Structure 1
Amino acid sequence: MTIDPENWEVLLAAVFLVINAGLSLALNLGFVRQMTVAALRMVVQMALIGLVLKVILTTKSPGLTALVATVMLAVAGYEVMARQERRLKGVWGYGLGAATMLLGASVVMLFALNVTIRPDPWYDPRYAIPLFGMMLGNAMTGIAIGLNALANDLASRRAAVEAHLLTGATRWQALAPSMRRAARAGLIPIINAMAATGVVSLPGMMTGQILAGADPEQAVRYQILVMFLIAGATGIGLVVALWGAAWRLSDRRHRIRLDRLTG
């Protein structure tokens, strides 16, 4: 049986957003506007992507697939930049997050399409776009958290880092503790997701497959594969992003350059 909710049933589920808005007003939490904007964005974006995917899945055009992936990357790069309290100035603020997300997501997606899943053709948008979206979305979260943690850690511990530099440490030695803390912060979401999957939560993709009539064992194997891929994309992107940020926030004279941060 295929689950196909009507429009009114979808709108009915939005009653819980109204409940959340009421709680926010009652408790003075101040997230009514943000939640409303986020919900509207989601509806518009999902409606548009549904129309776009309908065309792309029919034509199986590599050019259109690449165009959709580029748009996804561009939006994800902005989201990484927007989620940071202190971000790198200039093109680095956007470019570092976008480039490292592209690296992590592309490496893992190409591996999956050519080694484990092997659709024909390998760029089949039915597989490539959802996989790229999952890799990109999770890498986006990890990289945004990691970069934000690194910038805040350096800002709060600048005296300690500079004292370490004064004792003869290189910039990489002095920045290593901050980079490790930032890496742990960025990896926490995917680690928690893997630890809880199957007992605490059933991932949306696996649930969707089961609801669509897929064999549960097949859905489980596919979900495990995807979780491994997501962890790989997040880890690769996060480590390269932190290395790039640390390089930018220091110089060849082994000085900390927090003037290259906003805020």
Structure 2
Amino acid sequence: MSVPISAGQLALAAALLLVNVVLSVRLRLGLERDILVAGARMVAQLLAVGLILGWVFALRSPLPVVGIGLVMTVLAGQAAVARSRERYARVYLDAFLAVFGSSFLLTGLALSGLLRVHPWFEPQYAIPILGMVLGNTLTGVALSLDRFTGDLRARRPQIEELLALGATRWEAAHAEVAAAVRTGMIPVLSSMAVMGIVSLPGMMTGQILAGAPPGTAVRYQIVIMFILAASSALGSLAVVLLAYRSLFDARDRLRVERLHARGRR
């Protein structure tokens, strides 16, 4: 059984954020407002989610669950684009498609094939698992997209030289594609490499605190981590390939003029 947390305990925990504020003031980081706003937003959002999940877990129809999942995916796609320094016309659609395709595919595999949840849309499993997958996938998508578009702009002379010498668009951009996908995969792989030794993952810790046997919690975490790794890799590859199609034309020309810095058109 989990130990209940009172409002007073939450307030004491919130006071720990003053460590960040004091450091920002003493070092003149200028982050005081950002720290307080981020903390307030997190508390408000999580409290709202806590109220909503009680209703969500009572659902017995797949349509509302899928609808909630789509809303979460749209927000994840927008968050991925928000972290990128370069934009182009289709970037939001490409990010959504990459996040949607990889996250829904891997979440469906987890629910139906690995965990064998019945029914497959059981909200108590579907929503938390999709949320974890989306969180990791959007990180991979954001990093890959930012690295790929940034490299295309920075390495434009070299890429156009290869194209002028007769290389196809794929041959000219292969190194940038590979580097971007690798960048997107690094966070989850780094996390997997030290998991259990340096850090105890959140899902496993939460299950143990809720009273689940450690062996069961470990098995769930292993399954989830493999799902997260696969989804992050697929999402990273998908967004880079979609960006590649948007930023090279059928005549093997780099269309870097389609890129614009964040906040500019």
Which residue in the other structure is 1:46 paired with?
46
Give runs of ≥4 in structure 1 deviating > 6 Å: none
Structure 1, gaps ≥5 residues long: none
Which residue in the other structure is 1:68 paired with?
68
CA distance in 2, matches of 1:82, 1:39: 19
Query: Deviation at 1:36?
Result: 2.2
CA distance in 2, matches of 1:181, 1:48: 39
CA distance in 2, matches of 1:55, 1:254: 52
Which residue in the other structure is 1:247 paired with?
245
Which residue in the other structure is 1:227 paired with?
225
Query: Deviation at 1:72?
Result: 0.9
CA distance in 2, matches of 1:66, 1:82: 24
Which residue in the other structure is 1:117 paired with?
115
Asked if 1:217 corresponds to 2:215, the answer is yes
CA distance in 2, matches of 1:230, 1:4: 30
CA distance in 2, matches of 1:111, 1:119: 10
Query: Which residue type is aligned with residue 197 of structure 2?
Result: V
Query: Deviation at 1:27?
Result: 1.0
CA distance in 1, matches of 2:114, 2:162: 46
Which residue in the other structure is 2:96 paired with?
98
Residues 106-159 of structure 1, C-alpha deviation per residue, up to 9 Å, x if partnerless? Answer: 111111111111122111000000111111110000000000001111111111
Which residue in the other structure is 1:134 paired with?
132
CA distance in 2, matches of 1:102, 1:81: 14
Query: Deviation at 1:242?
Result: 0.4
CA distance in 2, matches of 1:123, 1:220: 23
Indicate the SS of the match to 1:47.
helix
CA-based RMSD of the aligned residues comes to 1.1
Match of 2:171 among 153, 165, 173: 173
Query: Deviation at 1:59?
Result: 2.8
Residues 175-201 of structure 1, C-alpha deviation per residue, up to 9 Å, x if partnerless? Answer: 110111111111110011100111010
CA distance in 2, matches of 1:142, 1:30: 28
Query: Deviation at 1:261?
Result: 1.3
Query: Which residue type is aligned with residue 160 of structure 2?
Result: E
Which residue in the other structure is 1:7 paired with?
7
Indicate the SS of the match to 2:73.
helix
Indicate the SS of the match to 2:68.
helix
Indicate the SS of the match to 1:58.
coil
Query: Deviation at 1:71?
Result: 1.8
TM-score, normalization by structure 2:
0.95
Query: Which residue type is aligned with residue 209 of structure 2?
Result: L
CA distance in 2, matches of 1:201, 1:207: 10
CA distance in 2, matches of 1:93, 1:35: 29
CA distance in 2, matches of 1:174, 1:3: 57
CA distance in 1, matches of 2:198, 2:172: 39
Q: How many residues align?
A: 261
Query: Deviation at 1:31?
Result: 2.3
Structure 2, gaps ≥5 residues long: none
